[in-house]
């Protein structure tokens, strides 16, 4: 008899304070697929400066689990709880996780985080460059054109500069 294949979904998990990397390591050792978005920052001390990798989203980690691994994650040492809505863990579309990975993989691109409410903008798709294929919203932040990936369940947006000639409008199909 063939084993039943369980569906896997991405979820955000809230971590203990400053324990994102430790939870990531713990979950990887349990063979649970997870993603910790990191950004490089230049830190300045009195005697030196050094590039360090810091979590982009403080106290959050993304996990891709089925029902079987769901409780393994929450029972980990550094996990607090899933990000929920109406008592149920919110699933995050695979496309958003992949777009976030592409944003952060380009070391020449400055990526910022915004927790201010941004007006919903025009939905666009990047048609050229390293972000080709990503869909997001185009908006103006601090006078520059930016593409935004909105994580409503986390109350945050990730954005980066984008050239207007490298995007096209996406037609929204209503059902």
Residues 115, 74 within the same domain: no
6/168 Cα distance (integer angstroms)? 36
142/66 Cα distance (integer angstroms)? 40
Answer whether residue 72 shows pLDDT above 60.
yes
What's the CATH number where 17 sits?
3.30.70.940
- The model's pLDDT over 78-125, given as tens digits with 9 standing for 90+, comes to 999 999 988 899 999 999 999 899 888 877 777 877 776 666 677 888
Residues 118, 170 within the same domain: yes
Residues 46, 101 within the same domain: no
- The model's pLDDT over 20-48, given as tens digits with 9 standing for 90+, comes to 999 999 999 999 999 999 988 888 888 98
Which pLDDT score, from 0 to 100, does residue 2 have? 57
Name the pTM for this structure: 0.77
Number of domains in the chain: 2
Residue 66 located in a structural domain: yes
Answer whether residue 175 shows pLDDT above 60.
no
Residue 24 located in a structural domain: yes
How many Cβ atoms are within 10 Å of 168's Cβ, its own excluded?
A: 11
Residues 106, 156 within the same domain: yes
Range of the domain at 54: 7-92
């Amino acid at each position: 008899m063939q084993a039943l294949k369980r569906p896997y979904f991405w979820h955000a998990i809230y971590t203990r304070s400053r324990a994102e990397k430790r939870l990531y390591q713990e979950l990887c050792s349990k063979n649970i697929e997870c993603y910790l978005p990191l950004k490089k920052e230049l830190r300045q001390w009195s005697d030196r400066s050094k590039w360090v990798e810091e979590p982009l989203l403080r106290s959050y980690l993304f996990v891709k689990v089925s029902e079987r691994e769901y409780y393994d994650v929450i029972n980990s040492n550094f996990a607090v709880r899933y990000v929920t809505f109406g008592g149920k863990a919110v699933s995050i579309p695979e496309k958003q996780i992949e777009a976030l990975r592409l944003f952060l993989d380009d070391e020449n691109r400055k990526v910022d985080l915004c927790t201010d409410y941004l007006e919903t903008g025009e939905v666009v798709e990047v048609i050229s460059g390293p972000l080709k294929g990503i869909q997001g919203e185009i908006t103006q932040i601090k006078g520059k054109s930016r593409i935004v990936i909105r994580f409503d369940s986390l109350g945050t947006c990730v954005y980066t500069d984008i050239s207007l000639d490298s995007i096209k409008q996406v037609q929204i199909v209503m059902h």
